[in-house]
A and B are shown apart, each in its own frame.
Chain A
Amino acid sequence: GAVVSQHPSWVICKSGTSVKIECRSLDFQATTMFWYRQFPKQSLMLMATSNEGSKATYEQGVEKDKFLINHASLTLSTLTVTSAHPEDSSFYICSSPGLAGASRNEQFFGPGTRLTVL
């Protein structure tokens, strides 16, 4: 249980275009979804937290107008990188907390999306 899928797995786009990444919870209701970014050979950095039906919360230094997050349903959260530039090239990973009870802390990660901006 607690499977998270992510689409696309990789994308290459031209500078200035927008890219949408979808994150789906397949067998549970994800009221919260975290979006992380991981640059090559670096750690995962929390970008934002999305909650179903409300506005996302962004971490310091993350531009909310550039990284648009929508969490319109309990099984889908999307991250749109608007006007992408080469410096946005990264591995984007979503995760959702586990189910209620003792395992609530455990994170279930999507497989990640490799974004390359030319």
Chain B
Amino acid sequence: GENVEQHPSTLSVQEGDSAVIKCTYSDSASNYFPWYKQELGKRPQLIIDIRSNVGEKKDQRIAVTLNKTAKHFSLHITETQPEDSAVYFCAASISNSGYALNFGKGTSLLVTP
């Protein structure tokens, strides 16, 4: 079936540096691409999302870029802080599914002081 690939699986950066996580998807009909932050034992928390008619979106320190032709999208976190440490998941909408999501395998981000 359709899937979402996410890289890297782990990422360690120093506080203040930028972090970039990349995802590719295979379903050409996907039109919604959210990013989630998940802390251990808790529900995923939406941090930013982008729709297929937009190439880039920014919200303070967080930005997402989408290349529909290449079927990849990326999360950029600038000026990272220790509290950004968590697992991040990208996802892509599943076409003809009523808005269900296909998730990447996650990236464990560690921001060291």
Give the size range of A's interface with the partner. 20 to 34
Determine the distance from Cα of A105 to Cα of B99 in the docked complex, in whole angstroms: 6
Known: A43-B89, A60-B1. A107 touches B34 (CB 8 A): yes
Determine the distance from Cα of A85 to Cα of B31 in the docked complex, in whole angstroms: 37
B86 to chain A, nearest CB (A): 13
Determine the distance from Cα of A93 to Cα of B44 in the docked complex, in whole angstroms: 9
A110 to chain B, nearest CB (A): 7
Do A44 and B97 have beta carbons less than 8 Å apart? no
Do B41 and A44 have beta carbons less than 8 Å apart? no
**Is A109 part of the contact surface with B, judged by Cβ < 8 Å?**
yes
Do B32 and A105 have beta carbons less than 8 Å apart? yes
Q: List B contacts of A72 (CB < 8 A).
A: none
Q: List B contacts of A91 (CB < 8 A).
A: 41
A77 to chain B, nearest CB (A): 13
Which one, A32, A46, A114, contacts B101 given CB within 8 A?
A46
Do A42 and B98 have beta carbons less than 8 Å apart? no
Q: List A contacts of B1 (CB < 8 A).
A: 60
Do A45 and B103 have beta carbons less than 8 Å apart? yes
Q: Which 7 A-B pairs have the closest CB atoms?
A: A105-B32, A97-B99, A109-B43, A43-B103, A44-B103, A43-B105, A32-B98
